[in-house]
Structure 1
Amino acid sequence: MKSDLKKYEGVIVPMVTPVNADYSIDKKAVGKIINSFIDAKVLPFVLGTTGEVASLSPSQKTTLVKEAVDAVDGRAPLFAGLAGNSILQTIDEAKRYTDMGVNALVALAPNYYPIEAKHALKWFEKLADSVTLPLFLYNIPATTHHSISLDVVETMSHHPNIVGIKDSENNQTRLEESLERWASREDFLFLVGWAAMSAFGLKRGANGIVPSAANLIPELYAGLYEAAKNNDFVEAERIQGLTDKVSAYNQSGRTVTEAIPALKALMSLKGLCGTQVMPPMLQMEEAELKAYLDEMENKILNLA
């Protein structure tokens, strides 16, 4: 399970979930987005936070995974997220996505009941014991309201089925300690889920980055990663500045509930998907959307 982990390194993009006005999966858009990732040599990750995983029905998830597997067509590893409060349902989803052809799983902690480290440990142990694919932990307290302790991560990092963590907690002390613990591990990958710290993390040994704005600018993040891989951190920092600027177009002053609709709006300018989102998220009002797209059109279409 822990051999050949290099294929899971790099830029992993938490893909938006394109949906039609009736909330069905926009299959054509799935193909467009996946192909834009493959062309940029970045890796797709469906059913993450940016993919509105908590708002999708089981049938929507199944359709999305099927379409993503078909679109990838073996050209890159495909990651799929697991989010829920039922361990049995989560295990069932893991098995279903495995049978459908995904290559790695990414699991959140449960988020309904308040939990402590001992609860998270047992949850991830039960899940890891039940899967047959490489499993990444996913720490994002902004949505789960629980921070997976570094000691729990350390314990689970030695489980034969757990191969890494995507950490999206905006905590520099935690990030630095995580890199000190795991940057030198060949059997456990550390993925930076805090996009603004991509170059910082890569310089200190992170194995990859997971930036939501790569839905819009995958080629820039691919360039950032390649520069870091070549130890050209002057160039990596230069590109980091560019990506931060683009990220601000949809994130600055917005909560995640507002940033994802804005990201889809920006992607619509490139013909990648529509602007529809799943409740409880809301599309921008017509006048606001028009003003936003008028303001952003030249900026987005002229990106390098």
Structure 2
Amino acid sequence: MRRFTGSMVALITPFHEDGSVNFEKLTELVEWHVAMKSDGIVVLGTTAESPSLNAKEKEEIVKKVIEAADGRVPIIVGSGSNNTMQAKEDSLKYESLGADGLLVITPYYNKTNQPGMVKHFTAIADVVSTPVILYNVPGRTGCSLSVEAVEILSKHKNIVGIKEASGDIGFVSCISKFINSHFSVYSGNDDMIVPILSLGGAGVISVLANILPLETHQIVTSFLEGNLEFSRKMQLKYMDLIQALFIETNPIPIKEAMNHHGMDVGGYRLPLCSMEKDSREKLQKIMNILDLEKEVS
């Protein structure tokens, strides 16, 4: 099974003014991320506004990103659902389209117990041959995998890791005991890249990388190559920006930042909408301090 490492961008979905998906811009973003050394691209995740995309749009996005990447970086596709049967169908579909990995979120809303969690992920992983990454983000879903459930699932032949976005470093410490050559832990929070790497993590699935792909790549690779001090300094340098990117619901701030950066990725689909004035001013002030207000060349 493929082992993913490094900085994998949780890619936004660019829109035209009329709200339709901007596939030309999507291709440009893929090319830019390849050039800027992103180690992987994650599509149809939280940052992609996936709940606001219909099935046809999702399929076309996956096709376009895989085509544009052309094998140069792995493409991981969010195929999770709170409906296990739907997650199985989507996982098989994206596998058939050429996804290198599948990101599967915990079942939200109709929250299950821990045996149900294990059965849910096992049912999905059993029907595919593509590597599956668990996605634990209780702040979004209202539920969390337990340490015991992660231990069981980490032994499944098709489950190769977990995107851990609980913000609970104690929980990360506990599940890091299960890291081996087959199972990896990835930071799902940009403010915890270095702490999770220090526990044996293999990388990050990053919102920050949408605007600073090379720098996010350097935070991870420098740590993995033994240059811990450089990695630590990079993490701290961008902490104010990282926090500002979550001052409102993701992906509102990151899209605002990208547009301020001259990347022209468009707006949002309801219920998401533009940032409030105070939040926008705070974000732009931090970007200006970091000299990120200039257009991308």
Mean CA deviation greater in 268-277 or 195-204: 268-277
CA contact (8 A) 2:150 2:175 kept: no
> 1:24, 1:60 within 8 Å by CA — same for their partners in 2?
no
| Residues 250, 262 of structure 1: 8 Å contact kept | yes
Distance 2:150 2:295 in 1: 38
| Structure-2 separation of matches of 1:182 and 1:291 | 43
Aligned to 1:260: 251
Correspondence for 1:276 among 258, 267, 270: 267
Q: Does 1:217 align with 2:212?
A: yes
> Does the CA contact (< 8 Å) of 1:33 and 1:272 recur in 2?
no
Give the Å deviation of 1:162.
0.9
TM superposition shift of 1:295: 4.3
The superposition leaves residues 175-219 of structure 1 with CA deviations (integer Å, 9 ceiling, x where unpaired) of 11122x133x10111111121111111122111112211101011
**Equivalent residues of 1:47, 1:81 under 8 A apart:** yes
Is residue 153 of structure 2 the alignment partner of residue 161 of structure 1?
no
Partner of 1:193: 188
Query: What is the rounded CA distance, in whole Å, between the counterparts of 1:288 and 1:32 in structure 2?
Result: 31
Say whether residues 1:205 and 2:197 are aligned partners.
Answer: no
The CA distance in 2 between the partners of 1:261 and 1:220, in whole Å, is 21
Amino acid of the structure 2 residue aligned with 1:279? L
**Partner in structure 2 of residue 73 of structure 1:** 70
Provide the residue aligned with 1:91 in structure 2: 88
Structure 1 residues 230, 297: closer, same or farther in 2, change over 3 A?
A: closer
Contact 2:106–2:135, Cα closer than 8 Å, also in 1: yes
Residues 198-257 of structure 1, C-alpha deviations (whole Å, 9 max, x = no match):
1111122111112211101011111111210121111111000122122133323x3x2x
1:59 aligns to 2:59 (yes or no): no
Q: What is the Cα-based RMSD across aligned positions, in Å? A: 2.2
CA displacement at 1:87 relative to structure 2:
2.0
TM-score by length of 1: 0.89
Q: 2:292 is paired with a residue of what secondary structure?
A: helix
Deviation of residue 114 (structure 1)? 2.5
CA distance, structure 1, for counterparts of residue 113 and residue 12 of structure 2: 30
**Mapped partners of 1:272, 1:35: distance in 2:** 13
**Counterpart amino acid of 2:42?**
F
Q: Which ranges of 4 or more aligned residues in structure 1 deviate by more than 6 Å?
A: 287-290
2:114 aligns with 117
**Cα deviation digits, residues 119-148 of structure 1 (max 9, x gap):** 111111111111121111110011111101
* Correspondence for 1:178 among 175, 178, 185: 175
Q: How is 1:130-149 mapped onto 2 (pairs within 5 angstroms)?
A: 130-149=127-146
Pair 1:300 & 2:292 matched: yes
Relative to structure 1, the CA distance from residue 294 to residue 167 in structure 2 (aligned partners, 3 Å threshold; closer, same or farther) is closer
Change (3 A) 1:290 1:191: closer
CA distance in 1, matches of 2:117, 2:287: 44
CA distance in 2 between counterparts of 1:120 and 1:22 reads: 39
What letter corresponds to residue 156 of structure 2 in structure 1? H
**Which residue of 1 is the match for residue 235 of structure 2?**
240
CA 1:207–1:290: 2 relative to 1, 3 Å: closer
Q: Distance in 1 between matches of 2:144 and 2:29?
A: 31
The answer to whether residue 15 in structure 2 is matched with residue 19 in structure 1 is: yes
Q: 1:61 to 1:146 in 2, by over 3 A?
A: same
State the alpha-carbon separation in 2 of the partners of residues 302 and 268 from structure 1: 10
- Could you say what secondary structure the match of 2:9 adopts? strand
TM-aligned CA distance change 1:166 to 1:275, over 3 Å: same
- Aligned with 1:28: secondary structure? helix
Change (3 A) 1:226 1:120: same
Q: How far has the Cα of 1:302 moved from its partner?
A: 5.7
Letter in 1 for 2:293: L
Q: Work out whether residues 54 and 83 of structure 1, in 8 Å CA contact, stay in contact via their aligned partners in 2.
A: no
Query: So what's the TM-score if we normalise by structure 2?
Result: 0.91
State the number of aligned residues: 293
Any stretches of 5+ residues in structure 2 without a counterpart? none
